[in-house]
Structure 1
């Protein structure tokens, strides 16, 4: 009997582990992406071994690596355009590099331009950085191995085009058979995942077994929700107010995304209200029930995530059961004797109201998603729709976005270009006849000779470079460690018997694992990237210790170049950038307030205003985090004041969000005699927004726009009849604005760039 129980427990544990991994693959199909990369790179090498066309197979495999390394997100049109763009860039820069490599006076300036262009691709986000691979990898490698005749050039381009075509076919097979709504639903599932994490953090410690989460911890999870929503909107731009009900599937998905966003707002409101209750009572029964409430919210988020990814009926049942559990817990909280006391009852009522709203939003989302089964992608597009995928307007928009010469991105691109140029120059000099040699008494001693492998220097410099110095330094260290380990292990692995088989295994396995670790641990991903490149670029028949040493030296030089360029060449220090980001965050809230309440303002969807304000807050918070990492040995003046200002500004955004969220579900209106109080509060808020902006400008922050100081509600405020909760939100917003004014009026607060230089 005991043995049976042990076996059952082991089976149950194994099932949970397997189920957890399957859920992870549903959420983020890294293994599928890794397999796509492995097939795109390895199959050409296998074909080369079988047919004896190993030289052509090398170029096919390199093309496969560049094109497949792009993560395919979004709808079918976006994915196809990504694959074709990467293929065209691969062929184009194969031609450019193969020709330029014959002339140093062309190849070196070309390296500067290629590095600069690779930096500009950051304007396109993750997709752009994937496309940049096709630019700099092909230029660097073909410059190192140029061709001298037209026939050789066209032959090489033919192999690259063939490898790109093969990778496009593999990519098409990876998504043509999925449901047409799967990419969209996957982004909404990511939002629900972040909502579950938010509920977990806000509920931490209410059971009395652990420390409660700090304000910073909660904000970081709230920021993760914003990041997930932004990622979804970047791929599927149409919002709920832009899609009509006739577009059934799209309408259902946009409304479902809206529901997930509103749930996150309500969780924050529940957390804030519960915090107020915590100061009034610490009754054990009550705190346990609050913990159970947050736990139910977390479970709803987790089950909604899986339901959106699978659309299985059993998952719908599980979501419904979690909603019923939430309502039962709400009922139990209401029955607690202490909940009826006058001081606590209003707060309890608000928590229960918000919990019921969450339940209704989840039920609404389930109702929206109860649509007929979706068609597969290959059946969902008509001939006309397929042709429209390649409409020139998409490419024009991307080029326009690419050429956005934002100051931070432009400086980043210049640093990459200069680092790549210097790296290529050093690589050429150290690859000469003697490399770096020392002559003593007529005897020449070679210290460093790169043996035509100097291309690893600009390659490393481009990969390591980041927009901010702190990130570049960290990535440089991680890449150096991972690359050195990868070179040593890869070189030893290729010394095994059956070198060809060992090489194929090395490329296949490393391709899969580098994708898996790419978003999890960069140093480990770098290790596998290096393993793959060692196998992929194994052009020489034998590897020796000198070659291993050469690649290690190149990696160290490239990392040092990237770090040095980040420090010396147009560095982006957050002591300079933080005042700008703070001004943008405060101005965004002012714009949010005016668009919400001014009568003469053109109407704008409040979700768009919310997204803008939260993004500006996020930028300022990220800048503050990087600022705290700068110049660690010297105490930064005014850093605490920045933190307090950001905290109050985030709360103002929350109150504006809360005000709008009330319009989703109308409540009882406030008595008419309170209307005058409401209008007076709005005038006070409006004056304080202007005063705070003026105080910030007087403190030396030159990024405050003068227009922010001159706009007044000339025609008054919009004729709103707010409910009780909305009045409270305006009052809380006024409190936060007053706190900011008090902070800015303090003479000890340094908030300009010069004042924070410690």
Structure 2
């Protein structure tokens, strides 16, 4: 009996251990740090211990998701770049002007190199960070090679541990990325469940939240695709990727169905007799959300996925209840139920997918390294502007540090590096998080350090803060800032025994660095969203039109459908990415200066309408395999809607000027009359869905004139 309890306890602990990727990363960092730091703390070599630990932190922040072979290449590149950076700092530090010029120039170079790929982005960021660490730890009394050797040794030690663990579980990173995708989908489904029942006003608010959550799902899908492509370049047998590709394709399919909208459900929500029926749909979406969460857990822990039996019961109950309501109202819900039922069946058959030997294609960036760098060497490119802004912050920080002879003024650089982001919204958000987090961290850290006078106690504090920093880094940055501040304080205190006297200087340095970042993004070529909205809207309409066109092609001729659905999936992906860009532009506009919030209301309306249009088109796409179009008016109207979307896109972007009447109103009237003539049937449902696509397109066309450039 005791053995059984121990076994159960062990299994529960193991499951909990693998369920949280952030905990695994934090534990990996602290383990590497502890193994390096403890011997030198015990032997009173605090400088060596702290420098090695900083190397571990820089390496961990440089790490990106990669296949073991790719991770080995990345580790070699990381150590070489770290060695060049740290040696340059220690050799040039005695020559301020040369050092300053090299620091600024190398920052621009590293940022541009980081634009090559996600792998290089992590390495270049780590190289800049470890250079600042080398400045903070610079000691003129030491030989020039000592600090670079220690920092690179710490980075190498962590890299080897991480590489060893990755070789033990080479597919773990794919599991983590796919699980994040299913978790994002789960949140989307949970929010959508609030639509049933809901009023018109509530639907606008929920629609706005769904658009923001859709950003998370699409970003997760993009990250999954990127990691799968990385693995595809490294694995020997592409068929080893097939299970992960099947999960990825399932996630895409579930997202399309989740993003689908067939009708304006408030029409039934206003009827009391349908309240329980709509609550049933709410519960179905809630249970599907829970199922997506279980799939994510299955990917992380390896436990078998058990599909909730309750979902089948709810589907059967809803089918029974829908048959009781008038046929006129049935059509509002029957397509929705069918759509959700297909998601239920797909999840139910998760462990027994259709056997396939073909490897579906995923879009890849086929540009060469030279082409990727060349694309960034334009002043209008966001990454080039980011590089110049960051180098500007470092330049002002360097001048202040040089002329005012600040003690550890390198904190200004480090703060600017953490706060500076490509966009105004992200930088502004980081500004407050960094200042408040740093001030809180300094106050808390200095207080705790006074209570832990021994080196061993401060080492434990440093390790604990490192763990919590990496635990909260992805999800709660403000918390992470507090812990990394305490970490750096305890590390500095171990080497310099500084006490309360560092409280004010560190706070001032942090405020200066954060303000420099804010001023740079505020006044150096700010790309205000009101200037971007017309282009983003035009692009979103164009991509929606292409998505719609791809669906119509498959409906018109089933034989045009490719074996792996690549063209369709690409059109769908681009439509969602364009919708995300428009959503993020509106989201960013809300925190910009009041004078720059032009077309704020129009941007909100257009974001909501474009997401609604994408939802209706997704509903048509989700049904494309089973739809059999019989009405000629469907094809004629669909073609006219597609042409209208393209024409509106061109007019907004000023790519063409047409005097043609592109109003959809007369066509919608004709289509509505045709719908009213038909009895309740599949054809009537198809035309209603098309009518909704046309109606939203017409609204967008009318609203778009307010933001036309």
What's the TM-score once normalised by structure 2's chain length? 0.82
Question: Are 2:629 and 1:670 equivalent residues in the alignment?
Answer: yes
The 8 Å contact of residues 202 and 271 in structure 1, kept in 2 or not, is answered as: no
Counterpart among 167, 173, 177 of residue 168 in structure 2 = 177
In structure 2, the partner of 1:412 is 386
Structure 2 CA distance, aligned partners of 1:238 and 1:127?
10
Question: Are 2:492 and 1:537 equivalent residues in the alignment?
Answer: yes
3-state DSSP of counterpart to 2:298:
helix
Question: Are 2:525 and 1:564 equivalent residues in the alignment?
Answer: no
In structure 1, the partner of 2:477 is 522
- 1:285-684 aligned within 5 A: 285-313=276-304, 316=305, 318-319=306-307, 322=308, 324-336=309-321, 339-368=324-353, 397=369, 400=372, 404-405=376-377, 407-431=381-405, 450-451=406-407, 453-496=408-451, 498-538=453-493, 540-594=495-549, 605-632=567-594, 636-663=597-624, 665-667=625-627, 669-671=628-630, 674=631, 676-684=632-640
In structure 1, the partner of 2:643 is 687
Whose RCO is larger (CA < 8 A, sep 6+)?
2
The 8 Å contact of residues 456 and 558 in structure 1, kept in 2 or not, is answered as: yes
Moved more, 461-470 or 650-659: 650-659
In structure 1, the partner of 2:697 is 737
Counterpart among 175, 193, 201 of residue 203 in structure 1 = 193
- 1:113-262 aligned within 5 A: 113-117=105-109, 119-120=111-112, 123=115, 130-143=122-135, 152-178=143-169, 180-204=170-194, 206=196, 214-237=206-229, 247-262=238-253
Residues 230-267 of structure 1 deviation map (CA, whole Å, 9 limit, x = unaligned): 12112113899x9x9x9544222212221122122223
Residues 639-679 of structure 1 deviation map (CA, whole Å, 9 limit, x = unaligned): 2222222333233333443333334x435x233xx2x3233
CA separation of 1:527 and 1:653: change in aligned 2, threshold 3 A? same
CA separation of 1:329 and 1:52: change in aligned 2, threshold 3 A? closer
TM-superposed deviation, 1:201? 1.2
TM-superposed deviation, 1:396? 6.9
The 8 Å contact of residues 37 and 69 in structure 1, kept in 2 or not, is answered as: no
The 8 Å contact of residues 530 and 599 in structure 2, kept in 1 or not, is answered as: no
TM-superposed deviation, 1:610? 1.1
TM-superposed deviation, 1:529? 0.7
Residues 402-459 of structure 1 deviation map (CA, whole Å, 9 limit, x = unaligned): 973462221111110011111011012121xxxxxxxxxxxxxxxxxx33x1111122
Moved more, 733-742 or 459-468: 733-742
CA separation of 1:395 and 1:610: change in aligned 2, threshold 3 A? closer
3-state DSSP of counterpart to 1:102:
coil
3-state DSSP of counterpart to 2:498:
coil
CA separation of 1:641 and 1:207: change in aligned 2, threshold 3 A? closer
CA separation of 1:394 and 1:131: change in aligned 2, threshold 3 A? farther
CA separation of 1:409 and 1:578: change in aligned 2, threshold 3 A? farther
3-state DSSP of counterpart to 1:187:
helix
Structure 2 CA distance, aligned partners of 1:24 and 1:587?
46
Question: Are 2:96 and 1:104 equivalent residues in the alignment?
Answer: yes
TM-superposed deviation, 1:35? 1.7
Structure 2 CA distance, aligned partners of 1:558 and 1:171?
32
Residues 64-90 of structure 1 deviation map (CA, whole Å, 9 limit, x = unaligned): 111022455243234334433332221
The 8 Å contact of residues 469 and 483 in structure 2, kept in 1 or not, is answered as: yes
3-state DSSP of counterpart to 2:339:
helix
Moved more, 215-224 or 525-534: 215-224
TM-superposed deviation, 1:597? 5.0
Residues 165-199 of structure 1 deviation map (CA, whole Å, 9 limit, x = unaligned): 21122212332222x43322322222222222222
CA separation of 1:101 and 1:173: change in aligned 2, threshold 3 A? same
The 8 Å contact of residues 94 and 138 in structure 1, kept in 2 or not, is answered as: yes
The 8 Å contact of residues 540 and 579 in structure 2, kept in 1 or not, is answered as: yes
The 8 Å contact of residues 642 and 751 in structure 1, kept in 2 or not, is answered as: no
CA separation of 1:159 and 1:706: change in aligned 2, threshold 3 A? farther
Structure 2 CA distance, aligned partners of 1:254 and 1:55?
48
3-state DSSP of counterpart to 1:666:
coil
Moved more, 418-427 or 100-109: 100-109
Structure 2 CA distance, aligned partners of 1:270 and 1:659?
9
The 8 Å contact of residues 462 and 490 in structure 2, kept in 1 or not, is answered as: yes
CA separation of 1:706 and 1:172: change in aligned 2, threshold 3 A? farther
**Unpaired runs of 5+ in structure 1?**
1-14, 372-392, 432-449, 710-722, 753-758
TM-superposed deviation, 1:514? 0.6
CA separation of 1:234 and 1:727: change in aligned 2, threshold 3 A? farther
TM-superposed deviation, 1:550? 1.9
3-state DSSP of counterpart to 1:537:
helix
The 8 Å contact of residues 263 and 689 in structure 2, kept in 1 or not, is answered as: no
CA separation of 1:527 and 1:122: change in aligned 2, threshold 3 A? farther
TM-superposed deviation, 1:527? 1.0
The 8 Å contact of residues 270 and 354 in structure 1, kept in 2 or not, is answered as: no
3-state DSSP of counterpart to 1:198:
helix
In structure 2, the partner of 1:68 is 60
3-state DSSP of counterpart to 2:435:
helix
TM-superposed deviation, 1:637? 4.3
The 8 Å contact of residues 201 and 218 in structure 1, kept in 2 or not, is answered as: yes
In structure 1, the partner of 2:274 is 283
Moved more, 99-108 or 64-73: 64-73
Structure 1 CA distance, aligned partners of 2:137 and 2:581?
43
Structure 2 CA distance, aligned partners of 1:267 and 1:395?
33
Moved more, 291-300 or 97-106: 291-300
The 8 Å contact of residues 466 and 484 in structure 2, kept in 1 or not, is answered as: yes
Structure 2 CA distance, aligned partners of 1:337 and 1:582?
38
Residues 308-346 of structure 1 deviation map (CA, whole Å, 9 limit, x = unaligned): 323323xx3x31xx2x42222222223227634221222
3-state DSSP of counterpart to 2:475:
coil
In structure 2, the partner of 1:47 is 39
Structure 1 CA distance, aligned partners of 2:155 and 2:371?
22
